[in-house]
Structure 1
Amino acid sequence: MKDPIAIHRAYQYGDLDALLVLLDDPPDFPNQRPTGPLSIAEIPLEYAIYHSPMAFIQTLIDFGADPNYGDHAGFPSLIAALSTDRKDVGEILVLLLDAGADIQQVGVNGFTPLHYAAAYQTPDLVQLLLDRGADPDARTNVDDYTTPLEEAIAQNRREAVAILEPVTGQDHV
């Protein structure tokens, strides 16, 4: 069985050579799907977004990682980045978008990256996503089919509300 601690450390330290050895140099790396009992490798880019230095995320993209990987768990690359507490989330978003990540990726319950940023992240990330073409009128596919503005209101994210109201033409007052 592969050593999950060693695999995690290879990601954590951004050691591509060690990671390839530990994963038995899969031919479809870095876009392979996890197989067998050990799924720590998950999708390499996704795992790196959560656990690796920014430079290693760039290395995986340079190595051919697909920023639009399909994720059965509902955390495509942009939403994975937004779901972390990393201080470099904005840089990761720019890196992924510049590498071709779809700004309208859909995650759990139809949340887009803009929904996630409006509800849980900083206003500068809301603005970044809007500047890069995120749809402020996108709706989730559950409950009340909310927009990013409605998510920001529900989470009492006043600064996000102030950014989203003018671009949607809606006023929540």
Structure 2
Amino acid sequence: MAEDPSEFQRRAIALHAAYHAGDLKSIRKLLDDPPGFPNSQQPYELGCAGTPLEYAFCWSPASLIRELLEIGADVNYSVVDGFPALFTLLETDREDKYDLLTLMLDHGADIHQRGINDWTPLHYAVAQRDLKAAEILIAHGADPHLKTRIDAYTSALEDAERYGLDDLAAILRNRTNA
């Protein structure tokens, strides 16, 4: 028997509120404690597709993200939309995104994971003109010379130079000379 649409809507609203509140216990309950949690895919019908970690980047306090990582959330989860974990995080306007970027890297996020346009997270930071993210990525070992395998076949350093992003290019060059 199909679930009552009004009950589905109530659960969707409650789930979103639980993410906002950082309430892991309620999130698990509202998702019916799925096998493989926190690396399970959430039901699209509840308006929260993707993994709990992916959804938490956009809606939850850092404490929930930390808690998800502590219970084994995969920081390198698969995506088909071109926005793996580090890209999703860099896309947000969270005030704490740089602390979370460091936390993700410390939990094994792949510094060279490919995403949209075959970019690495460093390419994405350059495209966003995000100096602080580039500094953090470089400090964690990002390779400024790693080239895309499609389109222009450029490195993050070449992109920064081509677009006249002198501050970013200098950071990337300094990594090269270190």
- Normalised by the size of structure 2, how large is the TM-score? 0.85
Between the aligned partners of 1:113 and 1:88, the Cα distance in structure 2 is 17
Which of 142, 152, 172 is matched with 1:144 structurally?
A: 152
Between the aligned partners of 1:62 and 1:55, the Cα distance in structure 2 is 10
Structure 1 residue runs of 4 or more that deviate by more than 4 Å after TM superposition: none
Counterpart of 1:134, as a letter, is: A
Which of 63, 80, 88 is matched with 1:55 structurally?
A: 63
Match of 1:118 in 2: 126
Between the aligned partners of 1:121 and 1:28, the Cα distance in structure 2 is 37
| Per-residue Cα deviation, 1:7-37 (whole angstroms, up to 9, x for no partner) | 2221111111111111111121100023464
Percentage of pairs with the same residue: 45
Between the aligned partners of 1:10 and 1:121, the Cα distance in structure 2 is 33
Pairwise CA distance, 1:98: 1.0
Between the aligned partners of 1:168 and 1:33, the Cα distance in structure 2 is 39
Match of 2:87 in 1: 79
Unaligned runs of at least 5 residues, structure 1 = none
Q: Which has the larger radius of gyration?
A: 2
- Relative to its length, the structure with more helix (as a share) is 2
Match of 2:29 in 1: 21
- Normalised by the size of structure 1, how large is the TM-score? 0.87
> SS of 2:19's equivalent?
helix
Pairwise CA distance, 1:153: 3.7
Between the aligned partners of 1:133 and 1:96, the Cα distance in structure 2 is 14
